[in-house]
Amino acid sequence: MLTFPIGCAAECYSAYLVLYNNWGVYDDSGYNVHVKANLCLLLVVFVNGVLGPTMAYPALLKKGLQVFGIGSKKKKEKYIPLKKRQ
């Protein structure tokens, strides 16, 4: 639970550094050489910078706290078929 945000931040920062250095690299004809790499790096920065902290880490933290006995577990209701409910 502790290493996930550290790894997420490190991966996001390193992808940002590479993206920053590759952004204005053009060949002799004026074509950006690293278009595909830049798009992939933008995706990595978005996933690790936005989706990781907002969607992945809260779910991971919720499951991890339940393992340690800190979080509350949801009580599962026993399934009762519709025929027996009436």
pLDDT band at 14 (very low <50, low <70, confident <90, very high): very high
Domain boundaries, the chain: 3-68
Answer yes or no: is pLDDT of 86 > 60.
Answer: no
Residue 41's pLDDT is 92
Alpha carbons 33 and 17: distance in angstroms, whole number: 17
Residue 74's pLDDT is 65
Q: What is the pLDDT of residues 17-30, one digit of tens each?
A: 999 988 877 877 77
Q: Which amino acid is at 42?
A: L
Q: What is the pLDDT of residues 54-80, one digit of tens each?
A: 998 888 888 888 887 886 666 677 777
| Assessment of whether the complete model's pTM goes beyond 0.75 | no
Joined tokens for residue 33: 């050489």
At which residue do the structure tokens 């502790």 appear? 2
Its sign, for the CA torsion 42, 46, 52, 56, is: negative
